[in-house]
Amino acid sequence: MTDTYAVFGNPINHSKSPYIHRHFAEQTGEPIAYTKQQVPEGEFEPAAETFFAQGGKGLNVTVPFKLDAYRYAARLTPRARRAGAVNTLALEPDGTVLGDNTDGIGMVNDMHNLGWELAGKRVLILGAGGAVRGILPPLMEQKPASLTIANRTLHKAEQLAKGFADLGAITPAGFESLEGQQFDLVINGTSASLGGDLPPLPESLLAPGACCYDLMYGAEPTVFLQWAEAHGAEKRADGLGMLVGQAAESFYLWRQIRPEVIPVITELRRKLSAKKGA
């Protein structure tokens, strides 16, 4: 029996999720079919209803529907509740739909695969939007020495600090107040890099041996990772590993088997580089 899964988004054309999940299915021998579906804005709920009514077993949900999926789920995992957003829906044996958010654990697992230590580190996150909300719960579980969230609009960083205070101390900041501070790990969670922009960062932000991670990825290093290289970051990574990592955790939720991520990341990176050279 082949079980059916899909990713819902808009746009969805360039989604790599079908490729990733087919790779996982081959690797694990799990009998699944995985498609992508462009859902018109405002029509998430009926589209999801139809999908599950037709026997669908699980969905990945991407921009702009993560909040719709959060509302749609009958039950939420604690990390999805905290994130306020859902990227994975799973049909439960009792017929209800569970909502999870695997983005944060995908990022943390990627950092572990990269050999980056998080415990005891001074961590700075740039940005305070939806993507950052998603990574906060699993990141804070790693017990960094300190966590600072810097955002263009300070009050959004303050809101996050307040909202997640029970998980640990978060210091909200404006970019200008980073002057004179140093961090061991800087994570770019702003959407600025989509437009080739970079928040204004002090020259000496990175401590010796610092790691820099961008939630975005591309064929070329992102502007943030270019900045990181120019400012002495010892290790740098973009969000391709996080993309595969979140997919692996969705697959695990659906199939109770955790696939190998490294071969898939390697293959996707090869394809991205080939495109660049084309």
| Catalytic-residue membership of 143 | no
Q: How far apart are CA 192 and CA 56, in angstroms?
A: 36
Instruction: Count residues near ligand ATR (CB under 6 A).
Output: 14
- Which residue in the list 16, 36, 57, 66 is annotated as catalytic? 66
Is 22 buried (19+), middle (13-18) or exposed (0-12) by CB count in 10 A? middle
Query: Positive or negative, the Cα torsion across 77, 81, 87, 93?
Result: positive
Instruction: Please tell me whether residue 96 adopts helix, strand or coil conformation.
Output: coil
Cβ-closest position to ligand ATR: 129
How far is CA 159 from each of CA 129, 137, 259, rounded to the nearest angstrom? 11, 15, 36
Helices (H), 56-215: 66-72, 78-83, 103-113, 130-141, 154-163
Footprint (CB under 6 A) of ligand ATR, residues 152-181: 152-153, 156
Backbone torsions φ then ψ of 204, nearest 5 degrees: -105, 35
Give the shortest CB-270-to-ligand ATR separation in angstroms. 26
Closest contact distance (angstroms) between CB of 154 and ligand ATR is 8
For position 149 contacting ligand ATR by CB under 6 A, the verdict is no
Tell me: does residue 129 bind ligand ATR (CB under 6 A): yes
Piece in contact with ligand ATR (CB under 6 A), picked from 17-25, 106-114, 121-129, 251-259: 121-129
Q: Quick one: 88 or 190, whose CB is closer to ligand ATR? A: 190
In the list 109, 151, 246, 250, the residue contacting ligand ATR (rule: CB under 6 A) is 151
CA distance 126 to 178: 11
**Minimum Å distance from CB 199 to ligand ATR?**
4
Q: Is 191 in the site for ligand ATR (CB under 6 A)?
A: yes
Q: Does 199 bind ligand ATR (CB under 6 A)?
A: yes
The strand pair at 97-100 and 88-91 is best described as antiparallel
How many C-beta neighbours within 10 Å does residue 4 have? Answer: 16
**CB of 152 vs ligand ATR, minimal distance in Å:** 3
197 binds ligand ATR (CB under 6 A): yes
**Residues at the site binding ligand ATR, with contacts judged by CB under 6 A:** 127-131, 151-153, 156, 190-192, 197, 199
Residues marked as catalytic: 66
